[in-house]
Amino acid sequence: MKTQEKKPIPNITVEQNASEKPDTPKGSLEFQHQESLLKMGALQDAIFNSAYFSSIATDEKGVIQIFNVGAERMLGYMAIDVLNKITPADISDPQEVIARAKSLSSELETTIRPGFEALVFKASRGIEDIYELTYIRKDGSRFPAIVSVTALRDADSKIIGYLLIGTDNSARKQVEEEQKKLDQRLRDQQFYTRSLIESNIDALMTTDPSGIITDVNKQMEALTDCTRDELIGAPFKNYFTDPELAERAITRVLNEKKVTNYELTARSRDGKETVVSYNATTFYDRDRKLQGVFAAARDVTERKRLDQALQETNVELERAKSMAEKANLAKSNFLSSMSHELRSPLNAILGFAQLMDSDNPPATPSQKASIEQILHAGWYLLELINEILDLAVIESGKISLSEEPVLLAEVMLECQAMIEPQAQKRGLTLYFPHFDSPCFVRADRTRLKQVLINLLSNAIKYNVKDGTVEVVCTTSALGRIRINIIDTGAGLPPEKLVQLFQPFNRLGKEGGAEEGTGIGLVMSKRLVELMGGVVGVESTVGVGSVFWFELSSTQAPQHIIDKVEAIPEVLVKITQGAPLRTLLYVEDNPANLNLVEQLIARRPEMRLLTAVNGNIGIELARSHQPEVILMDINLPGISGIQALKILREDPAMAHIPVLAISANAMPEDVKKGMAAGFFRYLTKPINVNEFMKTIDAALEFAEKNRPII
């Protein structure tokens, strides 16, 4: 933009520059006057040509006479474009000019025409006038400006023109807009925050550090039956039945920064009391200066009522549990006592009957038949006593199971050998599964055999002549193995199926030829469930029945666990001519027996004896006097703990260290085993290093405690 030629400044005439009169003495008044005029001219010249202010001077009719550099920069016009051609109204927003005219007409109660008159009317009346107006640039863009208007007068105070000085107000307007947005956001945030506070189900309040309420929500108003204005400024403690306790709540949160589940009782204006859970925390301003306490009070009256009811219910349950335990203990004691009382005379009956059966000379045929009846009934009665006691132990929850991976093929073979004579006697054909690959289930081996024998016995007893019993193993969902026992018996109707698994219920077979107690199925169901399985039955009248149970499939036993490490080599140097040391292992699981056999084979200074039940183990211990005994806990017949007791009571074997080795690995199992008197308690799967070290410790103990002969 070209700089326009400097305009003459109105009402100021500078006739001669001081330089034009070099003969004027510098100290004279005339010289000083000339200097003052020069300075004033320079100052006015700087103002009118400032690039930061729009200075527009008009004649008395409003036609532009001066259009300074600032006006050119702001509006985009050159001075030559506007001088003596347009008025400032022509570069102003016409709608704003019309609105200003209308507003001034109303304010001053006179008619003011839209146009230049509206821009200078106040100034023409000697009234100071500064207003905001939108200027329109040459390119059509707009910007807000603050305009100050002054009337220019001659020596006789006659208006000879107007001076309009404008500044670009865009930056301030932008700041104002941003501030408006910030203010709106703040109002929105305050509204949102207030909405959150009011929508809360708890009574909320804030207090200053001294405990004076500074704000509340509607729930607090409802809790106290007081208005917000009544609550604000009042002490927090005044609205609780125990003011001192409420005051301590404020003190505590100030000291600890946070309080939870502090119980108070609020009291409303009408005296209604409400138990509340008081939860509070301190809050601060942006400079981390403490402002007070923010607290929430939740109505817990209903919860307290429910807690009281639950407590009363728990007391009743404890009482009922205690009574049930006492009844169960009484039942167990009764069954134990009855078992002893029944076994004693039964022992005499069976003993003397057997003596009579083997007398010489032999009994007559008639006597022989009577003796057989006595023996048959006696053995049946003994079986009944054993099953009742077994069921009582299971239902009391005192039975101990040793769950471990069990190879189904081995169990099936053992059950087949045990049950085949019974099937052959009745002319039945048995079919057992063939396993192409090892199949393991997680179970107690002894109890699994008990369940299988029971179900197979029932399938044989209640079958038809020349019928079949088939055992089929399948894989079911959820990684389970289903074992099906399929018979060709008479089958059961639906109404009788629902009565299965009830103690002593033989479904109308009580008067039949087949003997039974009605306990076997119940025991089988309980045992399978204790091993984490399920039992079911499907039956069709005239076709037969399928009794099935499922157990969890598992991997083959991992005898060396946790760490992948080599089985240790022999660590003991064998003295030439030293006697072999004997280890007795009492275990009914062939896989476990095989593992220990392989481990002991690595110890040439030792020999291994094995027994498959506790009674055989005791006899071997008595006859061979081993240095160390390994004892499984869950054994057929007597348990490992019972066998240990017998060993300890025999002076000839009391000194032998007995190691428990069991799948019962719960802490209470180990504690119970050690309390029974085991030297050590090892859990399955075996950790080989630990196993070997324990054997060495037991041998060392046996050497030190060898009885002196």
Query: Do 408 and 466 reside in the same domain of the chain?
Result: yes
Q: What is the DSSP letter of 180?
A: H
**369 and 419 part of one domain:** no
- The answer to whether residues 49 and 120 belong to one domain is yes
Has residue 38 been placed in a domain? yes
CATH of the domain at 422: 3.30.565.10
Query: Is the predicted pLDDT of residue 283 greater than 60, yes or no?
Result: yes
What is the average pLDDT across 509-514? Answer: 50
Structural domain that includes position 24: 18-168
Query: How many C-alpha atoms does 124 have within 13 Å on its Cβ side?
Result: 15
Residue 312 within a domain? no
- The whole-number pLDDT of residue 19 equals 42
* Domain assignment of residue 262, yes or no: yes
Most confident stretch, 136-140, 399-403, 562-566? 136-140
Is 343 part of a structural domain of the chain? yes
Position 439 in a domain = yes
Which of 371, 395, 419 is the last residue before a domain boundary? 395
Q: Based on the domain organization, do 378 and 435 belong to the same domain?
A: no
Q: Which CATH number characterizes residue 679's domain?
A: 3.40.50.2300
- pLDDT above 80 for 287: yes
Q: Are 391 and 407 in a shared domain? A: no
Domain count, the chain: 5
User: What does the chain come to in residues?
Assistant: 709
Q: Do 285 and 342 reside in the same domain of the chain?
A: no
Of 373, 395, 417, the last residue of a domain is 395
Q: Are residues 282 and 415 in the same domain?
A: no
CATH number, domain containing residue 282? 3.30.450.20
User: What's the average model confidence in pLDDT over 408-431?
Assistant: 89
Q: What is the mean pLDDT of the chain?
A: 81
Residue 597 has a pLDDT of 87
Residue 315 pLDDT > 60: yes
Q: For the ranges 174-178, 386-390, 528-532, 544-548, which has the lowest average pLDDT?
A: 386-390
Q: Which of 554, 589, 613 is the last residue in one of the domains?
A: 554
Written as one letter, the residue type at 55 is S
For residue 404, pLDDT beyond 80: yes
Contact 298, 223 (CB under 8 A): no
> pLDDT value at position 393?
65
Question: Tell me, what DSSP letter sits at residue 242?
Answer: -
pLDDT of residue 484: 94
Which residue from 434, 486, 483, 498 is spatially nearest to 460, judged by alpha carbons? 486
Per-residue pLDDT at 328: 65
Same domain, 352 and 454: no
In this structure, the answer to whether residues 365 and 410 fall within a common structural domain is: no
Residues 6+ apart with CB under 8 A from 297: 202, 203, 204, 205, 220, 223, 264, 266, 276, 277, 278, 279
Task: Find out whether 72 and 56 touch, Cβ atoms under 8 Å.
Answer: no
- Is 471 a member of any domain? yes
The answer as to whether 485 is a domain residue is yes
Q: Do residues 378 and 413 share a domain?
A: no
pLDDT of 119 above 60: yes
Interval 155-203: pLDDT, tens: 889 999 999 999 888 878 788 888 888 888 888 887 777 777 777 788 8
| In a shared domain, residues 431 and 387 | no
In a domain, 3, yes or no: no
**pLDDT > 70: what percent of the chain?**
79
**Domain shared by 430 and 521, yes or no:** yes
